[in-house]
Amino acid sequence: MEHKSLFGTSGIRGSAEELFTNQFCFDIGRTFAVFLKNNDLVGKVAIGCDPRISSPRIKVAFASGVIYEGFEVFDEGVTPIPSINCILQSEPSFVGSVMVTGSHIKTHLNGLKFFAFGEEILKEHEKKIDEIYLKLKGEIQYADKAEAIIQDDQAVQDYKEYLLLKAKKPYPFWKIIVDPGNGAQSDVMPWVLRQFGCEVIEINASLQQELLSRDTEVKDDYRQLQESVVKEKADFGIGYDSDGDRVIFVDEEGHAIVGDYSGTLIAQGQPGEWLVTPVNSSKVVELIGKKVARTKVGSPYVVAKMKELKASFGFEANGGGIFSEMHSRDGGRSTIEMLNLLSEKGIKLSELVATLPKYYQSRDKVEYRWELKDKIVSSAKKVFKGTKVDEMDGLKIWINDDAWILFRSSANAPEFRVFTESKSEREAEELLARGIKFVKDIIKSK
Residue 446: pLDDT band by 50, 70, 90 thresholds? low
Task: Report the distance separating Cα 38 and Cα 32, nearest Å.
Answer: 10
Task: Report the distance separating Cα 433 and Cα 420, nearest Å.
Answer: 10
Task: Report the distance separating Cα 359 and Cα 422, nearest Å.
Answer: 6
Q: What is the pLDDT of residue 445?
A: 85
- Average predicted confidence (pLDDT) for the chain: 95
pTM over cut 0.75: yes
12-155 under CATH 3.40.120.10, yes or no: yes
Orientation of helix 154-166 relative to helix 331-345, angle to 10°: 20
Q: Who contacts 47 (Cβ-Cβ below 8 Å, separation ≥6)?
A: 59, 62, 63, 66, 73, 74, 75, 76, 84, 97, 98, 99, 100
Residue 413: pLDDT band by 50, 70, 90 thresholds? confident
Count of C-beta atoms within a 10 Å radius of residue 53: 12
**Domains 12-155 and 167-353 alike in fold:** yes
167-353 under CATH 3.65.10.10, yes or no: no
Q: What percent of the chain has pLDDT over 90?
A: 91
Residue 3: pLDDT band by 50, 70, 90 thresholds? low
pLDDT exceeds 70 at position 2: no
- Helices (H), ranges, 207-330: 223-231, 259-268, 299-309
**Range in 21-25, 231-235, 261-265, 367-371 with the lowest mean pLDDT:** 367-371
360-445 under CATH 3.40.50.970, yes or no: no
Q: Say whether 50 sits in a helix, a strand or coil.
A: coil
User: What are 66-109's pLDDT values in tens digits?
Assistant: 999 999 999 999 999 999 999 999 999 999 999 999 988 888 99
pLDDT exceeds 90 at position 132: yes
Q: What is the pLDDT of residue 70?
A: 97
User: What are 417-434's pLDDT values in tens digits?
Assistant: 999 999 999 999 999 999
H or E element in which residue 197 lies: none
Q: What is the pLDDT of residue 9?
A: 82
pLDDT exceeds 50 at position 402: yes
**Partners of 96 in the beta sheet?**
45, 116
Q: Who contacts 379 (Cβ-Cβ below 8 Å, separation ≥6)?
A: 438, 442
Q: What is the pLDDT of residue 1?
A: 40
Q: What is the mean pLDDT of residues 12-29?
A: 97
**Could you tell me the residue ranges of all domains in the chain?**
12-155, 167-353, 360-445
Calculate the alpha carbon distances from 202 to 238, 297, 422 in Å.
Answer: 10, 32, 35
